[in-house]
């Protein structure tokens, strides 16, 4: 996993140091000096990541007293096509420099499919580009991406077989599936909702997701990827699907939140968003059999 650049928030303008990524179970939720600053790089048409993540972190604050602020940079994207996705990728470094001006503690590159469109393993180089751009701008920050967070989180919980729901047209869903499989995780079945316009993706009703998940052949799956897209709303359905189907439910947003908390050294304590963010996530035994 890409090393994360961390620093003491009590010395915001002070010396930086490079460390390996934090463990999945930080030792405590000890008070910090001021709110943690979270930087997001999002598509210009994204309407979901800047609503679901603040809500998740609001719940974290309610449980722990830890405070967070959000600071975004936007890259042009209207239609979820390969051409527009690749063009967005070319703007990542400038967006990283721009958002790092806010001296954020962590930067999340919140466009899963833009990274995955570059081929298996592309999250490693994408995160390195963002990390370098922030450091070169004089504001080093921990870095994650929704693409990297999803595959790393699935590995961390021991999920070797998943089923997946995506809003994309079928060719892009296939590409996302191949990316996940390229990371060593078998995708047993996918559902494509066939929505190309990114604004329309953000208007999809998350309350339809339980029925969609219920129709998947999840018998042999270790986990359900309920939304393989940071723009497709899913938060209201995560806990309901997990409770009903009895499998861990992961989304691009919850995986990204999980890695942001890890980078900050904060133990997840979020209610109503699945076991991953509850603080009680367990490694799957069936996946290890």
What is the spatial distance between Cα 19 and Cα 7, in angstroms, rounded to a whole number?
9
Task: Tell me which of 95, 106, 110, 111 is the catalytic residue.
Answer: 111
Catalytic residue among 97, 102, 229, 249: 229
111 catalytic? Reply is yes
**CA dist., res. 207 & res. 187, Å (int):** 23
Q: Residue 38: which residues within 8 A CB-CB, separation 6 or more?
A: 53, 57, 68, 69, 70, 71, 104, 105, 106, 108, 260
Q: How many CB atoms lie within 10 A of CB 211?
A: 10
Please work out, in degrees rounded to the nearest 5, the angle formed at the alpha carbon of residue 286 by the alpha carbons of 283 and 289: 105
**Interatomic CA distance for residues 116 and 122, integer angstroms:** 6
Q: Give burial (CB, 10 Å; 0-12/13-18/19+) of 213.
A: buried
Distance CA 281, CA 58 (A): 20
User: What positions carry a catalytic annotation?
Assistant: 111, 229
């Amino acid at each position: 996993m890409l090393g994360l650049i961390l620093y003491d928030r009590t010395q915001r303008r002070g010396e930086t140091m490079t460390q390996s990524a934090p463990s999945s179970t930080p030792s405590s939720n000890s008070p910090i000096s001021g709110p943690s600053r979270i930087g997001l790089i999002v598509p210009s048409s994204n309407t979901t990541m800047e609503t679901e993540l603040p809500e998740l972190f609001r719940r974290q604050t309610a449980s722990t007293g830890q405070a967070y602020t959000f600071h975004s940079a936007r890259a042009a994207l209207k239609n979820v096509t390969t051409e527009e996705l690749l063009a967005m990728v070319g703007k990542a470094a400038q967006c990283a420099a721009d958002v790092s001006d806010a001296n954020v503690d962590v930067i999340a590159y919140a466009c899963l499919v833009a990274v995955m469109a570059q081929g298996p393993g592309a999250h490693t180089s994408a995160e390195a580009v963002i990390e370098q751009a922030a450091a070169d701008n004089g504001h080093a920050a921990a870095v994650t991406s929704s693409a990297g967070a999803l595959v790393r989180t699935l590995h961390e919980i021991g999920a070797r077989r998943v089923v997946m729901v995506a809003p994309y047209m079928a060719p892009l869903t296939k590409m996302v599936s191949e990316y996940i499989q390229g990371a060593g995780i078998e995708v047993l079945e996918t559902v494509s909702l066939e929505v190309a316009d990114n604004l329309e993706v953000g208007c999809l009703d998350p309350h339809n997701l339980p029925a969609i998940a219920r129709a998947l052949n999840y018998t042999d799956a270790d986990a359900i990827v309920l939304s393989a897209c940071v723009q497709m709303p899913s938060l209201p359905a995560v806990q309901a699907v997990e409770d009903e189907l009895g499998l861990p439910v992961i989304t691009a947003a919850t995986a990204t939140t999980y890695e942001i908390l890890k980078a900050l050294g904060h133990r997840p304590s979020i209610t109503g968003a699945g076991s991953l963010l509850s603080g009680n996530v367990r490694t799957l035994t069936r996946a290890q059999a």
